[in-house]
Amino acid sequence: MTEKDFIPKKINTSNLKKGSFSWRSPSNIALIKYWGKSEPQIPKNSSISFTLNNCHTTTILEFSKKENPSKEFSIKVVFEGETKDSFKPKIVKFFERIEKYVPFITKYDFVIKTKNSFPHSSGIASSASGMSALALCLMSIQKELNPEISDEYFNQKASFLARLGSGSAARSVEGDLVVWGQHDDIKASSDLYGIKFPFKVHKKFKNYQDTILLVDKGEKQVSSTIGHNLMIDHPFAKKRFKQADKNISKLSEILQNGNLTAFVNLIESEALTLHAMMMTSNPYYILMKPNTLKIIEKIWKYRRDNKSDICFTLDAGANVHVLFPEREKEKINTFITSELILFCQNNHYICDYVGFGARQL
């Protein structure tokens, strides 16, 4: 598939006056991180993520034919019941990027009603779940206009569009483990959209647990988009992209053979490398907080003392994702509630596990 395959040949909107579609789309946590991109939203290295089951965005997209045709986008955003004009610029930018692929978007007035299952100010990025939910709603309109499109094309194009809203959103359409970015060892992988991890995954990864410790619920001081751009002249960028490429191959093996010791080592190394890139860019910055480090030390001690397979990963913020196999759930939950939540803002944490992609409501 190339970018041209996503430009529709004919779209006739005359029979579709109004309607509404609703999708629920998950957030995801990257195991091998996407950090660095080129225009338009092409990742510098491929990434793999776990889809999260409990952290998701639900979006209802209402549309009605414009009374007075214009080239402007007509968008109203309602977030958790309240009109949110502050969300509009990001969505207008998204619409500008995708208009070529869904040209019908200038023909309608849109009301986007959206809500998250997790608190807005939790430090959990809602761009992956939010942009993918919106992309899926738009694809439902396209399907109404072109009923012949296949389910495979529907999902690919939803991911393709979501990517143009936020890179990591490409990994929030379908599948429990998703690969985005072309990689020689992952058949059918693409820079343009995410695909389901194509190999059989070892049973040790079934219902893999992810407890998110909310260390800092504030807005990030440096956005991911700025962070990606700081990779452009980064002294270690080339090495990092090569390393990520190798790490995808390593993780692919691990996911198939179930070597949890190797998993722990690789996942933590990826998380710390991501933050090392931030600390060694110019301007340099640190998103971890003292409590992030305290939690990491506690996790390492617990792992040593209990011969556990617990490990952590980080996204571009201070929160810690605690990853562990389902069989350790009971013991680790006790450890988390007795020793880790005191490092969380307002003792706040979210229990999650690997889920299965978006669904239409």
Question: By the criterion CB under 6 A, which residues form the site for ligand DP6?
Answer: 30, 33-35, 41, 47, 125, 127, 166-168, 224-225, 228, 274, 315-316
Q: 283 preceded by cis ω (within 30°)?
A: yes
| Residue (41 or 155) nearer to ligand DP6, CB | 41
CB atoms within 10 A of CB 73: 17
Distance in Å, CB of 234 to ligand DP6, minimum:
14
Distance in Å, CB of 198 to ligand DP6, minimum:
19
| Residue (230 or 332) nearer to ligand DP6, CB | 230
> Which burial class, exposed, middle or buried, applies to 9 when counting CB atoms under 10 A from its CB (0-12, 13-18, 19+)?
exposed
| Residue (88 or 331) nearer to ligand DP6, CB | 88
Alpha-carbon distance values, 291 to 63, 118, 137, 197, 346 (Å): 45, 21, 39, 34, 13
Give the nearest residue (CB) to ligand DP6. Answer: 167
Distance in Å, CB of 258 to ligand DP6, minimum:
23
| Residue (225 or 347) nearer to ligand DP6, CB | 225
First-to-last alpha carbon distance for the chain, in angstroms, is 28
| Residue (169 or 332) nearer to ligand DP6, CB | 169
| Residue (116 or 127) nearer to ligand DP6, CB | 127
Distance in Å, CB of 23 to ligand DP6, minimum:
19
Quote the tokens at residue 306: 């209990």
Q: Give CA–CA dist 187/195, Å, rounded.
A: 10
Q: What is the largest CA-CA distance in the chain?
A: 69
Alpha-carbon distance values, 346 to 43, 208, 299, 316, 350 (Å): 36, 26, 20, 21, 12
Distance in Å, CB of 358 to ligand DP6, minimum:
16
Beta bridge partners of 354: 52
Distance in Å, CB of 195 to ligand DP6, minimum:
15
Quote the tokens at residue 352: 């999650």
Interstrand relation of 108-116 and 74-79 (parallel, antiparallel or unpaired): parallel
CB 354 within 8 A of CB 207: yes
| Residue (123 or 167) nearer to ligand DP6, CB | 167
Distance in Å, CB of 34 to ligand DP6, minimum:
3
